[in-house]
Structure 1
């Protein structure tokens, strides 16, 4: 039985390699070569990784549902709440054996923070930024999915931190979103700051395509302790009068392998034990709705000065 990976960009190729390393029989299929008519008649497919651009995923979800095959869907699920609802309605019970690609939930610093008692927390900030022109060798933003008004932009592209905030503080809702656009890419946000609140907690999530240095950090403040996270350095500092910094050595690909391992277990058994915070699709509706709501509430306030 085969795991099919549809979409052979950098993420799709990473999935193929990790699945092979985990012992799965894998077939990578480029979206431009995909033939739905012949694929959906196959009886040897046990799971489908959907690693395509966001706007074509619903079509593949419908196909997978018709085949009764679990899916691993790259994040975000959809950029509108109607699209999110459509995907959940389409998959039905298959969502219990499917996964949404929020692999940052497996970051050891995030898991260490989530294991703490956070009942004292009243405020937080999450921030992620990187110059989009420096992402990968041979990367071209203007030619990518990220440059599209629907399904693109930084809020959707770097939405891991929105999901982290929702996982840690489930009562959060969107207050408002302020975004910076670009004159050459109408409707695409290059920087967004999301104000969130709920359950006696308030905070912000900021993301951008503009920072000249890569950064990924957070502050989580409570009455008992101030907690500082650096996800690139993989450290967690807890200061309750005396600051203690704990390093969590890791390799970025460890997160991909961990989420893939959990998904392979779910394919076989919907009741399989998973790691803490595992983004089983059936548990991810609230997070997906929050991201879609934030995308819909963007208010543009200026344009980025960045040339391509």
Structure 2
């Protein structure tokens, strides 16, 4: 019974850590969603559009202007000058889900929307477009987020009122990670491969890094909750009760011994799924190893894999003050 009580106490404290991760991820996604609306690929001919980092800089390229729902787009250059249509089975950064017509809401003389207005429009229109495209099975807390190519200021002045909506896979920094396959045929669970380390920015979880570099968490396992809960959605408490034991086992196995995690001043914790994610078809969660700062204010920087030598920092990691560049392809893999 004592062991069970310890697990429950750890589960409750771990929930706070889990919320720190979720908040950090959502914060990065929010920056992306605001900026991606205003910073979109440029070049070519057609109606005016904005390019990454250059609001309303140039007209849209034919690959964007002509893209229909189900089309996948990819680019390598930071300014997306090389944007092109590709097969969705190939690496791509954006899957087009459809268009949203804004003409009923904005007359020809309407001023160009602000960043806040664009965010609201994207949330209202492109989320609905993407949910319809996925037949209601969009996980808003999954690995994919809604994005949009918007008219540039020049295009807006010429009467362009069309949002080209789509799905993309951003990291917390706002950079986009490539994916393969169409979203409709993927589990949208926001998981990472076992052995992946997620970077740290201050006390927030950041983009994946090599585990030899300071990081926030190391992924120690992936669990398919449908094996334990094959029928209806399990409550968060039921998920926690199961994962407290299972993630402890997987993390100890991954680390190489039952005491390795604790000996290295790390803790095992896990993600859970919301009912909305479950209804969208997501079933997988990650088990992870991390450390808290001595004062409990957030995640501590960890250097080295839990499988080997580990150093746990006692001060927050440096804050990355470099400008976020939403829409820029990430250098590494998710």
The two structures share one fold, judged by TM-score above 0.5: no
Q: TM-score, normalised by structure 2?
A: 0.25
- The structure in which a higher percent of residues are strand is 1
- The structure in which a higher percent of residues are helix is 1
Larger radius of gyration: 2
